[in-house]
Amino acid sequence: MVWVMRDKLGPGRFGEPVDAGFVIPFEAKTIQSAPTDSVAHAAVEAEAAALPECLTFPAGAFKQIEYWYVPTERAVWCMTHQTGIPAFTRLLMDELTTLHARIAKFADPANEATAPRPLFYVGGSVNKGVFNVGGDLSFFVDCIRKQDAVALREYANACIRLVHEMDYSLGGRVFTICMLEGDALGGGFEAAISFNHLIAERGVKLGLPESLFNAFPGMGAYSHLSRRIGHREAREMILSGKIFDAEDLYERGVVDELVEPGHAREAARAFLAANEKKQPLLLSMEKVRRRVNPVTLDELLDVTKIWVENSLQLGASDLRRMELLAAAQLRRASGRATK
């Protein structure tokens, strides 16, 4: 049985050069709606009403995510599906926060007698070309021009709490898996490396281009990368603004599992099948990691304060580059919506 709640997303393209002196740091490509799991798709009408009560929301409650629960896998699958720019909007973050709270509650061992509680959470995107391109650039520019530190800090704190939820296994109850079928840039990359296990397809691009604007990724990049690959490499990766292939980051230890294009979902299912009985051990090892080399919420929040300070001092040319990138993203998203 598959319990599912989902909407629809049309195809489109994303990414382009914006002027002779500044190029979006990833290749132009078509973003297509990923082929939805055939079992889940067939069960949309028949099984939607079978969602457990704690995972049931009013119709239309979510605009930018879809999710389903597969009891036989003991996994909640959650995919972002944004009809606009695939970035971390406040709406997306609010929806994820709401769903995560319900999943954490459902995963309480006390609920085991009611229904098979989830042991795993698989996150991804229905856009095969792009997982997520990061922060809401237009919002950033507007806040910086207004010198609105409060709005920037609230946005950053919302991001941080999501990152922290993934790293801390949704309250220590659910092992989190990120599935990259498309590029993860900026905040999208930061989100991906916060999961307990990161699966990426060959050819996927990952990177932190913020230094091109004289900014830095403030939502967990340095904290999580420094734990994975060391402080020197983390600093160099951030300052370079370079976009890396998944293959390269697998060799460096950033990506945990590298698979062929089109096989990320298959790999995720294989991981679930192989590790259901080991899930308590996996969670225990995550607790050991966090005890030995913790990334605390306080640390992440302190870094966002520095990020806000740095953002507010960006110059006109930096903001112009951010605007050019945001405009290019919007044109592609608008073209996708009209097709």
Residue (of 254, 160, 145, 165) closest to 208 by Cα position: 254
Task: Reply yes or no on whether the pLDDT at 93 is more than 70.
Answer: yes
- pLDDT, residue 333, reads 58
Task: Reply yes or no on whether the pLDDT at 31 is more than 90.
Answer: no
Strand 65-70 to 75-80 pairing: antiparallel
Q: How far apart are CA 219 and CA 160, in angstroms?
A: 6
* Residues with Cβ within 8 Å of residue 170, at least 6 apart in sequence: 100, 103, 104, 107, 121, 176
Task: Reply yes or no on whether the pLDDT at 251 is more than 90.
Answer: yes
* Partner residues linked to 103 by β-bridges: none
222 found inside a domain: yes
What's the angle, vertex CA 168, arms to CA 273 and CA 129, rounded to 5?
Answer: 65
67 found inside a domain: yes
Q: How far apart are CA 194 and CA 165, in angstroms?
A: 9
- Alpha-carbon torsion, ordered 219, 124, 334, 186, to 10 deg: 20
Total structural domains within the chain: 1
Task: Reply yes or no on whether the pLDDT at 188 is more than 50.
Answer: yes
Task: Reply yes or no on whether the pLDDT at 142 is more than 70.
Answer: yes
Least confident interval from 107-111, 174-178, 319-323: 107-111
37 found inside a domain: yes
- pLDDT, residue 181, reads 96
- pLDDT, residue 97, reads 97
Any idea what the CATH number is for the domain that residue 67 is in? Answer: 3.90.226.10
Over range 183-203, report the average pLDDT.
Answer: 97
* Partner residues linked to 127 by β-bridges: 33
Task: Reply yes or no on whether the pLDDT at 106 is more than 50.
Answer: yes
339 found inside a domain: no
Tens-digit pLDDT profile for residues 38-85: 444 444 334 333 677 878 888 889 999 999 999 999 999 999 998 888
Task: Reply yes or no on whether the pLDDT at 30 is more than 80.
Answer: no
Q: Give the domain extent around 108.
A: 3-332
219 found inside a domain: yes
Specify the DSSP class assigned to residue 76: E
Tens-digit pLDDT profile for residues 218-244: 999 999 999 999 999 999 999 999 999
Structure tokens at 3: 């319990």
- pLDDT, residue 146, reads 97
Phi, psi of 255 (to 5 degrees): -90, 135
pTM of the complete model: 0.85
Q: Which helix (H) or strand (E) holds 319?
A: helix 316-337
* Residues with Cβ within 8 Å of residue 94, at least 6 apart in sequence: 158
192 found inside a domain: yes
- pLDDT, residue 244, reads 97
Percent of the chain predicted with pLDDT > 90:
72
Cβ atoms of 264 and 124 within 8 Å: the answer is yes
Q: Which residue type occupies 338?
A: T
Task: Reply yes or no on whether the pLDDT at 33 is more than 60.
Answer: no
Over range 243-249, report the average pLDDT.
Answer: 97
Specify the DSSP class assigned to residue 331: H
- pLDDT, residue 284, reads 98
pLDDT band of 28, cuts 50, 70, 90: very low
What average pLDDT is seen over the chain? 85
Burial of 256 (0-12, 13-18, 19+ CB in 10 A): middle
Q: Where would I find the beta strands (DSSP E) of the chain? A: 3-5, 12-14, 17-19, 22-23, 29-31, 65-70, 75-80, 120-125, 130-132, 175-180, 183-185, 197-201, 205-207, 243-245, 257-259
DSSP codes of every residue in 168-191 = THHHHTSEEEEEESSEEETHHHHH
CA 320 from chain center: how many Å? Answer: 26
pLDDT band of 196, cuts 50, 70, 90: very high
Tens-digit pLDDT profile for residues 258-278: 999 999 999 999 999 999 999
Q: How far apart are CA 319 and CA 312, in angstroms?
A: 10
Task: Reply yes or no on whether the pLDDT at 176 is more than 50.
Answer: yes
Tens-digit pLDDT profile for residues 305-332: 999 999 999 999 999 999 988 887 676 5
Q: Where would I find the beta strands (DSSP E) of 126-238? A: 130-132, 175-180, 183-185, 197-201, 205-207
Q: Which helix (H) or strand (E) holds 36?
A: none
75 found inside a domain: yes
Over range 126-155, report the average pLDDT.
Answer: 94
Tens-digit pLDDT profile for residues 275-294: 999 999 999 999 999 999 99
299 found inside a domain: yes
Name the residue with higher pLDDT: 113 or 134: 134
Over range 169-184, report the average pLDDT.
Answer: 97
- pLDDT, residue 335, reads 52
Task: Reply yes or no on whether the pLDDT at 35 is more than 80.
Answer: no
